[in-house]
């Protein structure tokens, strides 16, 4: 189990005092040696090697982060959990109850400009991407696009704060003007679909799913954390290290400069507090509905479409209001006209069209559609009947794919009506097969994750043996200590044997579930989840390497070829392994 460490009382007191001291505040960090603010602080105060950069007017920049989503093909998306698990106010259940969301991206690495591909480096697995701004749009960026002239220098504190008090209509105007400028001045810096220079990436507001998936840390957070916790893992920090918000004893009067707090696991800043961020999704209530033939309950959007959604909370929000799953509704208009508030800003994403007219994406879409319909040759057109209108005999392979066997029957049918009926049935079967495949993929991923914890458990039992050995040694020959210690080691050796047998059974079950399919897609997802520098991620990557090795051996030579001794040697340090082997 992963333990999230909170700061000590002393550290928390230092952090609280730091926030109150002007000399240590965010603005102080933005000053140059001459005391003036550096202009690049208005667009990238915390640069990282894998930042994706677009130019802006006045020699400025807008920096994006790539959000990778695993997918076997263009029509494959990832399910994740939106909303809040622990609602402080049960009345908000209809707003923020946990619910299933689905996410993917329109672009692949080959659609990116060369500098972006170089910055991302080679990533194992098949991923689709969308790109979200690293920071909230700053006042400097707004002025550079909207005012028709470059902001004056030296810049002031306002320039590096997020823009706010702008309506949805003004935000759309900003995005339009920025895109027009990019097309005229930096078209080649934008992602564009491979083989098609007409369908190009463009800035827009993110959907609620895009915003929340990125705020939760995306693939850079293990799925067990992302789907079960209401904030991304904090490590040894606290929420105040990531967000700008108010507490009962400390009211924040305005937003902080962009990038003034720690980034989330995707290295995105300011997604907790500072200013509320408008997304382009319409607001719906979420109400309970029955699924799985009345055997389960899920939450679905209510049919009434309201205003727009704002996410993330603001400097005036409380700690419970800055969670990624929190959401509020904002109207487009009120009695004074378009709605603007000092607490509301935005950050764009780069999106693209789903149905381009030409290029590699068209071929990829066609291949994905065929995959959804099921493998095997498609049936002949039902517009031409066989001349003799005599049905042909078909030999069905009981172990073959359902859609492929149906294709045989469809080709052998002579009547156009029968062909059409069978085609309709084939589509139902193909949809069912595709849904089953996605469910099995999720079950395989969860099974692999469970086996990682099996390995961690065996590793921890090995550490217990080392501890007992130390206790016996420190007993300096005390026969009671020695006898009790040796008995405990024998008892734990029995537990270890049972755990290892259970682990081997799990390997066999995974291979049965996989039915020969390549598990590289699943391992790539897991590798991307454990990228942190902490001990937990280090152990999980080591466990993952062991798991891959054991699965390959089990697949090639069977479960019996993998002895407990072989497993322990892989998962334990050499000294610990030898201690375990010495126990009879």
CATH code at 9-351: 3.90.1580.10
Compute CA distances 506 → 167, 444, 526, 543, whole Å: 55, 11, 17, 15
Q: SS3 for 33?
A: coil
Residues of the chain with CATH 1.20.1050: 435-582
pLDDT, mean of residues 380-395: 54
pLDDT at 370: 66
Longest pairwise C-alpha distance within the chain? 97
CB 499, CB 458: distance < 8 Å: yes
Alpha carbon distance 136, 171 (integer Å): 12
pLDDT at residue 4 greater than cutoff 80:
no
Six token digits for residue 487: 């008995």
The b/e string for 434-464 (b: 16+ C-beta within 10 A; e otherwise) is beebeeebeebbebbbebbebbbbbbebbee
pLDDT, mean of residues 441-453: 90
DSSP string spanning 151-163?
PPSSB-GGGGSBP
CB 350, CB 130: distance < 8 Å: yes
pLDDT, mean of residues 493-498: 88
Q: How confident is the model at residue 242 (pLDDT cuts 50, 70, 90)?
A: very high
DSSP string spanning 296-326?
EEEEEE-S---SEEEES--TTS-GGGSSTT-
Helices (H), 413-534: 416-474, 479-514, 520-529
CB 562, CB 550: distance < 8 Å: yes
CB 245, CB 273: distance < 8 Å: yes
For residue 128, the cross-strand partners are 69
- Where are the extended beta strands (E) located within 312-413? 327-330, 333-334, 337-338, 344-345, 349-351
DSSP string spanning 231-297?
S---TT--GGGT-B--BTTB---SPPPTT-S---TTS----SBSSEEEEEEEP--EEEEEETTTTEE
Q: How confident is the model at residue 379 (pLDDT cuts 50, 70, 90)?
A: very low
Question: What pLDDT, in 10s, does the model give residues 96-133?
Answer: 888 889 999 999 888 999 999 999 876 666 899 999 99
Alpha carbon distance 122, 524 (integer Å): 12
Residues of the chain with CATH 3.90.1580.10: 9-351
pLDDT at residue 350 greater than cutoff 60:
yes
Dihedral in degrees, nearest 10, Cα atoms 343, 348, 349, 354: 110
Alpha carbon distance 413, 329 (integer Å): 56
At 71, give phi and psi (nearest 5°): -160, 135
pLDDT at residue 25 greater than cutoff 60:
no
pLDDT at 389: 52
Listed in sequence order, the residues at least 6 apart from 165 whose beta carbon sits closer than 8 Å to its beta carbon are 340, 341, 342, 344
Alpha carbon distance 35, 511 (integer Å): 63
Q: How confident is the model at residue 175 (pLDDT cuts 50, 70, 90)?
A: very high
Global pTM reads: 0.77
For residue 119, the surrounding DSSP H or E stretch is helix 114-120
Return the CATH architecture of domain 435-582.
Answer: Up-down Bundle (1.20)
Six token digits for residue 306: 């309201």
pLDDT at 415: 80
Alpha carbon distance 80, 209 (integer Å): 9
Q: How many residues appear in the chain?
A: 584
pLDDT at 419: 80
Average pLDDT along the chain: 84
Alpha carbon distance 236, 64 (integer Å): 27
Alpha carbon distance 492, 501 (integer Å): 14
Residue with tokens 């679905």: 300
Quickly count: other Cβ atoms within 10 Å of residue 33's Cβ: 6
Q: How confident is the model at residue 373 (pLDDT cuts 50, 70, 90)?
A: low
For residue 291, the cross-strand partners are 296
pLDDT at residue 548 greater than cutoff 80:
yes
Work out the percent of the chain whose per-residue pLDDT is above 90: 40
Give one word for 57, left, alpha or beta, with left for phi > 0 and alpha for psi -120 to 50. Answer: beta
Q: Hey, CA dihedral for 78, 83, 86, 91, is it positive or negative?
A: negative
Six token digits for residue 308: 């727009």
Six token digits for residue 546: 């062991």
pLDDT at residue 380 greater than cutoff 70:
no
Q: SS3 for 94?
A: helix
Q: SS3 for 36?
A: coil
At 500, give phi and psi (nearest 5°): -70, -40
Q: SS3 for 380?
A: coil
pLDDT at 122: 60
At 309, give phi and psi (nearest 5°): -105, 135
pLDDT at 174: 97
For residues 481 and 161, the model is more confident at 161
């Amino acid at each position: 189990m992963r333990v999230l460490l909170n700061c000590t009382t002393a550290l928390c007191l230092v952090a609280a005092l730091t926030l109150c001291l002007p000399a240590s505040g965010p603005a102080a960090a933005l000053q140059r040696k001459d005391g003036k603010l550096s202009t690049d602080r208005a667009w990238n105060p915390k640069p990282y090697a894998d930042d994706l950069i677009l130019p802006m007017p006045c020699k400025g920049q807008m920096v994006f982060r790539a959000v990778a989503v695993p997918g076997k093909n263009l029509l494959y998306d990832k399910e994740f959990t939106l909303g809040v698990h622990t609602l402080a106010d049960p009345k908000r259940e209809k707003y923020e109850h946990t619910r299933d969301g689905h996410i993917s991206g329109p672009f692949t690495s080959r659609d990116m400009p060369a500098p972006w591909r170089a910055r991302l480096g080679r990533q194992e697995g098949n991923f689709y991407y969308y790109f979200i701004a690293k920071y909230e749009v700053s006042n400097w960026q707004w002025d550079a696009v909207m005012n028709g002239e470059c902001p004056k220098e030296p810049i002031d504190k306002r320039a590096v704060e997020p823009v706010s008090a702008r309506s949805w209509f003004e935000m759309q105007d900003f995005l339009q003007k920025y895109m027009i400028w990019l097309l005229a001045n930096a078209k080649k810096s934008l992602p564009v679909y491979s083989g098609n220079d007409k369908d190009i990436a463009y800035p827009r507001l993110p959907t609620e799913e895009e915003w929340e998936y990125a705020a939760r840390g995306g693939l850079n957070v293990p799925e067990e954390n992302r789907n079960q916790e209401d904030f991304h893992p904090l490590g040894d920090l606290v929420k105040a290290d990531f967000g700008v918000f108010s507490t009962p004893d400390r009211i924040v009067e305005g937003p902080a400069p962009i990038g003034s707090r720690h980034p989330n696991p995707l290295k995105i800043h300011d997604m907790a507090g500072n200013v509320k961020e408008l997304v382009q999704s319409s607001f719906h209530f979420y109400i309970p509905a029955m699924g799985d033939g009345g055997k389960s309950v899920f939450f679905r959007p209510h049919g009434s479409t309201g205003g727009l959604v704002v996410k993330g909370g603001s400097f005036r929000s409380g700690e419970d209001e800055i969670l990624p799953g929190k959401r509020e509704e904002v109207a487009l208009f009120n009695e004074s006209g378009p709605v603007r508030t000092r607490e509301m800003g935005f950050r764009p994403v780069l999106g693209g069209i789903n149905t381009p007219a030409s290029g590699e994406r068209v071929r990829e879409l066609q291949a994905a559609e065929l995959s959804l319909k099921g493998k095997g040759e498609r049936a002949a057109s039902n517009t031409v009947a066989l001349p003799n209108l005599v049905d042909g005999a078909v030999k069905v392979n009981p172990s073959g794919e359902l859609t492929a066997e149906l294709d045989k029957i469809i080709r052998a049918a002579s009547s156009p009506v029968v062909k059409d009926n069978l085609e309709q049935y084939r589509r139902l079967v193909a949809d069912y097969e595709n849904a089953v495949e996605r469910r099995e993929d999720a079950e395989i991923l969860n099974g692999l994750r469970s086996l990682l914890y099996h390995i961690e458990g065996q590793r921890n039992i090995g550490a217990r043996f080392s501890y007992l050995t130390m206790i016996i040694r420190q007993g300096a020959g005390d026969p009671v200590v020695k006898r009790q210690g040796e008995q405990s080691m024998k008892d734990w050796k029995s537990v270890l044997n049972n755990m290892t047998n259970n682990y081997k059974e799990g390997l066999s079950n995974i291979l049965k579930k996989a039915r020969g399919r390549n598990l590289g897609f699943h391992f790539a997802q897991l590798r991307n989840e454990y990228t942190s520098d902490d001990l937990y991620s280090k152990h999980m990557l080591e466990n993952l390497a062991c798991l891959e090795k054991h699965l390959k051996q089990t697949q090639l030579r069977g479960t019996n070829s993998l002895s407990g001794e072989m497993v322990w040697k892989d998962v334990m340090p050499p000294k610990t392994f030898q201690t375990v082997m010495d126990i009879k």
